[in-house]
Structure formats: structure tokens, C-alpha cells
Chain A
Amino acid sequence: MRVVVDLNRCQGYAQCAFLAPDVFAMHGEEALLYDGEPDGTRRLDVLRAEAACPVKAITVEGAGAAWTAAGAGVSNGP
């Protein structure tokens, strides 16, 4: 499983760190650290984090979930 966070989009909302604390961690109030290749036991946590990210900054590959392939944050504004 591969996880990529678009750190330009990321707003430090920490939703990911709440739902997958073994994969995402907040460093201080804003900066995000994460494991780009978590093992399979974290699959559901990672899928929850991806869905919960308010700005859709997280992309997950190889988690066997059809819906994750279709476009993280494609809309930036009006």
C-alpha cells in the first residue's frame, strides 16, 4: 500500500492523525509526518484517513478499494 500526501494542499486539520495514528502524526500544531508505505494491517485506518481529509490531500494506492483511485482533490476553487 502506498500513501502520498499533497503537502501543498494539506491544511494541518489532523483528521488523518486521529484516524490512523500509526501512519500519520502531527509534528507540533501544523506540520504532518507520515509513513508512505504502511503495512496491510493499517489498511482500514488509512482508508478512513483518506476519506476524512477535508481537503482531499491524501492519495492511497494498492489498498484494494475501488473508490480511492478516482481523483483526490480535483477542485481548487471557483
Chain B
Amino acid sequence: MTSVALLGQILDYANRADPYPLYAELRRTPVVRDESGPYLVSTYWEIHSLLHDPRVSSDIRNLAPEAKTAPRTEDPDLPPSFIRLDPPDHDRLRRLIMRTYGPPHAPRRVYGLRGEISGIVSGLIDRFQGRDRIDLVDDFSYPFPVTVICRLLGVPQEDEQRFHGWADTVATAIEPAVGTPEEQQAHWQAIREAHHQLAEYLSGLIAQRRRAPREDMISALATDRGADESPMSLPEMLSNLTLLLIAGHETTVNLITNGMLTLLRHPDTLKQLRADPDLVIPLVEELLRFEPPVQLLPERTTLDDIEIAGTTIPQGASLWLVPASGNRDPRRFPEPDRFLPDRPDNQHFGFGSGIHNCIGSPLARLEAQAALAELVRRLDNPRLVEDPPPYRHNAVLRGPRHLPIAFDGLSR
């Protein structure tokens, strides 16, 4: 049987700025075993089929211990959240969250945040006044999504700063620990500490809202009786609320940062967007295809032998799907390496597919659309200072660590 040695290269930081040629190489064998162990799946229809296959498990308890190599972001002291569970546990928890978050029970929860989102965007851009250079990541993309999650959940504004601190520390778990063993120890200790403080804070807020409910999502969760199913226990609430925070953080940061980077690399498209701000709607879909914040879906497990693309993946194998490669599959997308803001029939994998498809997608879309349209409208003559910019280490949640942008002035 053939195997490749590509996963190591994909994870190698030297290839972070442009992993796409490696994905093209990978697509020559749609389903292939990597030397390091896992099976890699890189073509559109094969990824689609496995994302909809009940024999593919997201529960890492099904994975052999030596196969667990991807970084852990979850609080080890809480039960697993539904992104890492299979049916029926996944479905129960996802339904319970949905009852407080989306249609049919809470159809205006996300829609109702549009005003807040545009207010936060304007506020952050106003702070660029008097400057001729910003770091888009530190000055805009990074603080934005956490603020939105706070408003969604109902974290009081006076607590937002503390919440940002925990969110930032917890998010560092996706980067490899560096330094001496003592420093690495301290790094993990700080993450664990932030998890505990976050859990304690959320428990307090849940108790408070149970006594005096408001209109927010925490109140809805704290008071929901769960219709036909058993309502969430407190540890389940903590685990799944933390999931919303983690899953919606770095991803949204990267979508917005990748968005400005891509626009600045395509000046004609930037001009077009300035002239027609509504173009941001399909443009964000194309970004999710062209530069998806979630490049790989690591560590799924096969619960049975699976025949696909002429290969049999044996039961118990570790499966790494590569949606960022499927998004560039020429058998699915004509001219896949071109950025076409109004690309028709753009059924990308930016938010996954199947039972684990992203529940945050409506919120992330509204955030990215508001952010990019307003940045492009207000920044006068924006320019990249360096290309490529410095990237974060993480190959799964890929995006720039900094994105310095120079500009000539700021419109109202």
C-alpha cells in the first residue's frame, strides 16, 4: 500500500504561509496513509462522504492514546463538549444549546445582535484615529469576537475585560508550548488556572440568572427544562459554554484577518467592494473556501472498515480530513486557486458539514461581513506592510499572528 510523508510537512511551520501546494500534492491520492500513522483525506467528495458517515467518530476516547497528537483546548476537568461526542450524546447537547440559541425556539437571538456587532466594529475602528498604521490582529480582529460572545451570553460589560483575559489564555492551548520544561509546565498551569476561573465565573453567572433571569442566552440555558430530554447538568453547561467561547474565538479572528489580507492582495476586488458593499455577502463565502480558518479536521476515528476511493480504511484508524484542500479540489470548483468574490454554487467546507457543522456560522458571517465592509469603507488607501505576514504556529486553526496595515487616513 502506498503512503506519503506529507502530514509532517503540513504541520511544519515553514509551510504555514502557503500550504496549498502541499494540499495539491496530497490530492493526487484522495485517501492515503501518512507515514506518521493517520489517514489523510483531501478531495471534496471523499471528505463530504466521510463527514456524513455515521461510522466516523469524533469522540477521541475511541482513538488509541499514541494517536492523540493534536493540541487540547478543553478543560480536562469537565465532561467533553458536543464537538467531541457522537450521537446520541452529541445530539442531545446540541439540541439543548440550540433551544437557547437558534430557530425555532430562539429565532432572533443572533439576528438581534446585528446592532451590537456594528457598534463594536465602529468603536474599534474609531480607535485607529490619528494613526497611519495598525496591527489588524491586535487592534481589531482579536478583541472583536470575544466581545460579541460576551454580548450573546449576557456577560455584563464590567466583566468583559476579565473574560477577555481568560479567553486569551485558554486560546494559547492551541499553540505548542515552548521553552524549558519549567516554562512549559507554567504554560499549562496558567491555562488550567484560566479554565478554573472561567468555570467559577460562569457558575456564578448561571446561579445569578437562575434567580433573576434576563433576556440573554445564559438565562435561557439556566432556566430551560429541556422539553423531552434531561436538561444540562452544571458541568455540561460549563463545558459547552466554554466550547462556544473557544470554537468562536481564533476562528473568527482568522476569518477577518485572512479577509483583509486577501483583499489587500487583490486590489481590484477591494475596489469593487468599496463600490458595492453588499458584495461582502458572497465574498465572505469565497473567503471561507479560499482561506478557511479551519484547515484540517484532525483525529476522527473509524468505527468500522470503510471502503472509499479504492482504499479500505481499517477500523480504529485515525482520520485527518483536510477541508482546506477539498475547498481547492478542481473536480468540484472550477479554477479553484482563483479568488472570485461572486463565485456561484460555493458549497465550501469552511464551517464543516454533517452533524458537527458549525453552530456559530450565522454569527461568524454577520461578524465578518460587518468587519470587512466597514474596514474597507473607512480605511483610506490601506496597504500591506509585509507579505506574507508572520503566522501563528497552529496548522489546524491557521492565520496571521500579526497583520500590519499602513493607511493614509480614516473616514467617518
Contact = CB atoms under 8 A, between A and B. Distances in A.
Interface of A: 13-15, 17-21, 25-29, 44-45, 47-48, 51-52, 54-56, 65-67, 70-75, 77-78
Interface residues of B, number: 29
A67 B45 CA distance: 25
A40 B342 CA distance: 22
Contact of A19 (B104, B111, B342, B351): B111
Of A14, A29, A54, A65, most buried by chain B (CB within 10 Å of CB) is: A54
Contact of B347 (A27, A56, A78): A56
Contacts, number: 82
Contacts of A27: 104
B278 A52 contact: no
Contact of B103 (A18, A55, A72): A18
Nearest to A70: B344
Contacts of B278: 44, 47, 65
A74 B369 contact: no
A14 B103 CA distance: 7
Given A18-B107, A25-B107, A44-B278, A75 B347 contact: yes
Interface in B92-106: 102-104
B357 interface: yes
Given A26-B103, A77-B45, A18 B344 contact: no
B342 A70 contact: yes
Contact of A51 (B108, B285, B331, B357): B285
B17 interface: no
A14 B361 CA distance: 11
A52 B365 contact: yes
A57 B353 CA distance: 15
B contact patch SS: loop
Interface of B: 45, 102-104, 107-108, 110-111, 278-279, 281-282, 284-285, 331-332, 342, 344-347, 351, 353, 357, 361-362, 365-366, 369
Given A18-B102, A55-B347, A78-B45, A26 B107 contact: yes
Of A21, A67, A72, A75, most buried by chain B (CB within 10 Å of CB) is: A67
A47 to B, nearest CB: 5
B45 A18 contact: no
16 contacts: A17-B107, A18-B107, A19-B366, A21-B111, A25-B104, A29-B104, A45-B111, A51-B282, A51-B365, A52-B362, A54-B353, A55-B347, A70-B342, A71-B344, A73-B345, A75-B332
A66 B342 CA distance: 9
Given A21-B107, A26-B103, A56-B347, 14 more contacts: A13-B357, A18-B111, A19-B362, A20-B111, A44-B278, A51-B281, A52-B365, A54-B347, A65-B281, A67-B279, A73-B345, A73-B347, A75-B347, A78-B45
